[in-house]
Amino acid sequence: MSDQREVATIIGGPVSPYVRKVLAVCTLKGVPYRVDPIVPFFGNEEFSRLSPLRRVPVFIDDQVTLCDSTVICEYLDERYPSPRLMPSDPAQRARARWLEEYADTRFGNVTIWQIFYHTVIAPFVFGKERDTARIERAVTQELPKVMDYLEQHAPAEGFLFADISTADLAVAVFEPNLRWSRVELDKARWPRATAWMARVAEVPAVASVTKLGGMLMRASSLEQHRSLLAEAGVAVTEATLAAPKPQQSPALM
Ligand SMILES: N[C@@H](CCC(=O)N[C@@H](CS)C(=O)NCC(=O)O)C(=O)O
């Protein structure tokens, strides 16, 4: 297995937590990448072909075209084993997989579909009224259940395992999307989980991609995303899979 890092193309912008997880893993492993920072709802027909669920990230390199951040991160960990981002002990590895799955599915559902979608995407992408009752229900009823669970599993110090893992990343990447939705996690109620996420957020590979996402959140239009990233020193693809008009998500049909 060659240790040479091949350039990867990543479809999807750093406002997406799942894209940030993959960008952070590329950075930690020294995999150079270029980005087509589309918002998935604007993907064209080629995007539908590459990503049948019409989701970002999509990852393309000299060997594979992959969807799903977990599949992509596992591929990167197997192809470029250094530094390892999954523990080697089978029981710890299984625990890492479960926490990553829990974060992707449940924390993601509450943060992205129930809160960020209704706070940011529905009004700004689809021109819909904010569903404030739904957001309130998610913040007061669903988010606490997720945070209670994470509080039980959060490490008292450091990361989940000896070194940072994709499971740590998978959890911590959702916090900025909550903040961008004007939802602050209560540090007194969930001290271990919030402190753990803050430690992960401080890792330079994570902090740099979060900063890029924050920059795009402040952009006045989606058209600016490519040029803003390029100005920030991120390699951007020449062509884009963005279409002029958004499509409703298959998840909401
Ligand atoms: N399990 C997927 C989830 C990816 C995902 O839901 N991405 C969101 C962006 S944050 C998306 O593309 N949503 C568009 C849609 O579902 O229509 C992963 O880990 O990559």
CATH number at residue 16: 3.40.30.10
Residues 239 and 143 in one domain: no
Tell how far CA 104 is from the center of its chain. 9
Q: Whose CA is nearest to atom 20 of ligand 1?
A: 68
Residue 3 included in any domain? no
Q: Is the alpha carbon torsion for 88, 94, 96, 100 positive or negative?
A: positive
Distance CA 39, CA 121 (A): 10
Residue 1 included in any domain? no
Whole-prediction pTM value? 0.97
Residues 133 and 98 in one domain: yes
Distance CA 173, CA 169 (A): 6
Residues 37 and 61 in one domain: yes
Atom of ligand 1 nearest to the CA of 22: 20
Closest listed residue to residue 122, CA positions, set 114, 179, 250: 114
Q: Which pLDDT value is given to residue 2?
A: 58
Residue 55 included in any domain? yes
**pLDDT by 10s per residue, the chain, length 253:** 557 999 999 999 999 999 999 999 999 999 999 999 999 999 999 999 999 999 999 999 999 999 999 999 999 999 999 999 999 999 999 999 999 999 999 999 999 999 999 999 999 989 999 999 999 999 999 999 999 999 999 999 999 999 999 999 999 999 999 999 999 999 999 999 999 999 999 999 999 999 999 999 999 999 999 999 999 999 999 999 999 998 877 776 6
Q: Ligand 1: distance of its center to the CA of 188 in Å?
A: 31
Residues 151 and 193 in one domain: yes
Question: Which residues, judged by CB distance below 6 Å to any ligand atom, belong to the binding site of ligand 1?
Answer: 16-18, 40, 54-57, 68-70, 104, 112, 249-251
Domain housing 23: 8-84+205-252
Sequence-ordered list of residues with C-beta below 8 angstroms from that of 251, at least 6 positions apart, any chain:
53, 113
Residue 232 included in any domain? yes
CATH number at residue 199: 1.20.1050.10
Residue 2 included in any domain? no
